[in-house]
Chain A
């Protein structure tokens, strides 16, 4: 929508634009405020926190809260900081993301380029799976994981995230593949290529953008997940989100807000980093996953 302001008179438009920029800047401050507060609080000492207020700057930069959050803060009964939980998260997030993206790519390819009787039905069924509240599968899944002996294990969390993430990745890939002309696959069939050959030689090389979108989306989802983590794991196998919540709610001794904030930033850091590096793809994933329900 170009040239909206053309019709305006110069003066009114100048004032108008001033107001617009002012509003936008104000909203920026609102969105940035919590991050700023977290960061500055994490760098203060407890005394400074008590003496100052949310917006007061730390007098000197202290990293002890960070060290404690990482190394020795108490999350429930243990007091080993977040580090173990951070690596827990890494250990199930990486395989879950890789596997669910691969599954999504294959499914999307098969469902768009090789329509078969019932392929739309299958797709519709998968999509409904995106919509259910997960609470409705928690109890049976807990029973199943227990019976399979993979409750409270990395494998169990990978399994759960793959099972419930594959619907989303399939959706991404399908929506991307419908924009690729059918004729490409037809041409390859006539050239003599089969299902797998076409996928690996032609379709996959074209899929880089959507692979990035899917990886980022899945990474954010799985890393940030709390529900599956809190239900299907316990003790020192828990993911970082659960550990963070435990850390914040552990009520032994003095409440150390600076450590809480440092811990929150540590838990947020990987996804924030992804957002900063590849925000464009992140947004694309959000809108792609959302607009087509």
Chain B
């Protein structure tokens, strides 16, 4: 039995379709990430799961109940908002126990729960403060405390970390993950930060313009993006997309790359099947920056590795790696190179392409070819 299942859910506002048939399913205890650019309908979907927005058509189940017509309080959920939405007039303690009070939990039990929640989140010393007297990170904890105090069967998070500074965000991310491991409650978590998506999620749904582009585990989505949008959205720096012609090479098929004055044709491992139909035509060749590095002797000769010498236009050191920009087929391509091996702008350097994870897209439909 799934913890949450969303079947063919649509939402329109005044005839505008915002969500165009969403299908998602997660098991008990799973951590689902909804990720996508601003305005794609993530918050709307979350609100519909919470019962704050009505469902235009389709079905939402939480556990074994269809909840379409249930009010938020009957859905056995709790939610953490981007702005935290702590009740400004109440102390932290009252904030946490408000939901319990409404559910007529006896006072003694309320006190026990508040204490336990405060221990878990280490906010015991803040219980008698008002939200205005808390820092951003503390508010965040209180908001989570309010959610976990009721022990719902499903947590909903709407960009809970986006108001925190970078350092705190990383810390809280870890805490949320630990909390999830410990409590084992299913979570739906909205973010537009793809790093949060990768690190937290058991499953990721990448959304765009009211549609789920791909639904799968983080690794599947990273390694096997279903289309150009997903490939470009996940990963930082983003995947390189190089328009390239497909040519027959050495019994298989490969892509033709021009850089500087030189032309290279890289055979694609296993490319013979799907690329065959594209012979002589242009495709978008997708390769992530970390798959283009400096030449390493130990890998030379393996079929999926190809080397080529290319002129450097620009280098961007990031510390652990240096991003090297080289022109290929008229595009700037980012390569992730060990700093010790990076050349200087104006020079050229030998780069090694790992083609085993390269992907190919139809430039017109933007769908994956191979």
Q: Are A and B direct contacts in the complex by CB distance below 8 Å?
A: yes
Return chain A residues, CB-CB under 8 Å to B50.
186, 190
Contacts of B71 in A (CB 8 A): 189
Distance of A186 Cα from B71 Cα, bound (Å): 12
Q: Contact between B102 and A184 (Cβ–Cβ < 8 Å)?
A: no
Interface of A is mostly: helix
- Most chain B CB neighbours (cut-off 10 Å) among A188, A190, A193, A206: A190
A187 on the B face (CB < 8 A): yes
Residues of chain B having any CB pair with chain A under 8 Å = 47, 50-52, 71-73, 77-79, 81-83, 85-90, 98-99, 102-103, 146, 150
Query: Are B99 and A191 in contact, CB atoms less than 8 angstroms apart?
Result: yes
Binds B, one of A197-205, A265-273, A280-288: A197-205
Q: How far is the CB of B198 from chain A (nearest CB, A)?
A: 27
Known: A189-B51, A192-B99. 19 other contacts (CB 8 A): A181-B83, A183-B81, A183-B83, A183-B85, A186-B72, A186-B85, A187-B81, A187-B85, A187-B86, A187-B146, A188-B98, A189-B73, A190-B72, A190-B79, A191-B102, A191-B146, A193-B73, A201-B98, A202-B87
A 3-34 contacts with B by CB, 8 A = none
- Contacting residues, chain A, for B99 (C-beta < 8 A): 190-192
Cross-interface CB contact of A206 among B81, B82, B85, B89, cutoff 8 Å = B89
A-side interface residues toward B, CB under 8 Å? 181, 183-184, 186-193, 197, 201-202, 205-206
- In the assembly, what is the distance between CA of A197 and CA of B98, in Å? 11
Interchain CA distance A53-B73 in the complex, whole Å: 74
Q: Which of B87, B102, B150 has the most CB of A within 10 A?
A: B87
Measured CB to CB, the closest approach of chain B to A188, in angstroms, equals 7
CA distance A193 to B74 in the complex (A): 11
CA distance A186 to B77 in the complex (A): 13
Q: Which of B72, B83, B103 has the most CB of A within 10 A?
A: B72
Name the distance in Å between A95's Cβ and chain B's nearest Cβ.
Answer: 28
A–B complex contacts, Cβ < 8 Å, 24 sampled: A181-B83, A183-B82, A184-B88, A186-B47, A186-B50, A186-B79, A187-B79, A187-B86, A188-B98, A189-B51, A189-B71, A189-B72, A190-B52, A190-B73, A191-B98, A191-B146, A192-B102, A192-B103, A193-B73, A193-B98, A193-B102, A202-B90, A205-B89, A206-B89
B73 touches A191 (CB 8 A): yes
Name the residue of chain A whose CB is nearest to the CB of B99: A191
By beta carbon, the residue of chain A nearest B82 is A183
A192 with B73: CB separation less than 8 A: yes
Tell me which of A186, A188, A190, A192 contacts B87 (CB under 8 A): A188
Distance in Å from the Cβ of B100 to the closest Cβ of chain A?
9
Give Cα A181–Cα B87 distance, bound, in whole angstroms. Answer: 11
Chain A residues near B82: list those with CB within 8 A. 183
Residue pair B103, A181 in contact (C-beta under 8 Å): no
Closest to A204 in B: B89
Closest-by-CB residue of A relative to B47 is: A186
Are B89 and A202 closer than 8 Å at their CB atoms?
yes
For B85, list chain A residues within 8 Å (CB): 181, 183-184, 186-187
A202 to B94, CA, bound (A): 11
Q: Are B81 and A186 in contact (CB under 8 A)?
A: yes
> Are A190 and B77 touching (Cβ within 8 A)?
yes
- A190: chain B residues at CB < 8 Å are 50-52, 72-73, 77-79, 99
Q: How far is B72's CA from A206's CA once the two chains are assembled, in angstroms?
A: 23
In the complex, what's the smallest C-beta–C-beta distance from A126 to chain B, in angstroms? 23
Query: B residues within 8 A CB of A186?
Result: 47, 50, 52, 72, 79, 81, 85
A193→B103 CA distance, assembly (Å): 9
Instruction: Give the distance in Å from the alpha carbon of A188 to the alpha carbon of B90 in the complex.
Output: 12
Q: Select from chain B the residue with minimum beta-carbon distance to A205.
A: B89
Q: Roughly how many angstroms separate A195 CA and B52 CA in the complex, as a whole number?
A: 13
Which of A181, A184, A192: most chain B CB closer than 10 A?
A: A192
CA A187 – CA B79 in complex, angstroms? 7
5 nearest A-B pairs in the assembled complex, by CB-CB distance:
A191-B99, A192-B73, A205-B89, A183-B85, A187-B85
A197→B71 CA distance, assembly (Å): 15
Query: Do the beta carbons of B73 and A206 come within 8 Å of each other?
Result: no
Interface centre among A191, A197, A206 (most CB of B within 10 A): A191
CA distance A201 to B87 in the complex (A): 9
Minimum Cβ distance to chain A for residue B71 (Å): 8
Q: A201 contacts which chain B residues (CB < 8 A)?
A: 87, 98
> Judging by beta carbons under 8 Å apart, are B52 and A189 in contact?
yes
Set of chain A residues within 8 Å of B77, measured between Cβ atoms = 190
- Measured CB to CB, the closest approach of chain A to B161, in angstroms, equals 15
Name which residue of chain B comes closest to A185, CB basis: B85
Q: Give the distance to chain A from B93, nearest Cβ to Cβ, in Å.
A: 14
Give complex CA distance A191, B90 in Å. Answer: 14
- The CA-CA distance from A189 to B51 in the complex, in Å, is 9
User: Contacts of B47 on A, CB cut-off 8 Å?
Assistant: 186
B53: nearest residue on chain A (CB-CB)? Answer: A186
In the bound complex, CA of A183 to CA of B98 (Å): 16
> Contacts of B83 on A, CB cut-off 8 Å?
181, 183
* Cα–Cα, bound, A186→B75 (Å): 14
Distance A164 CA – B339 CA, assembled complex (angstroms): 75
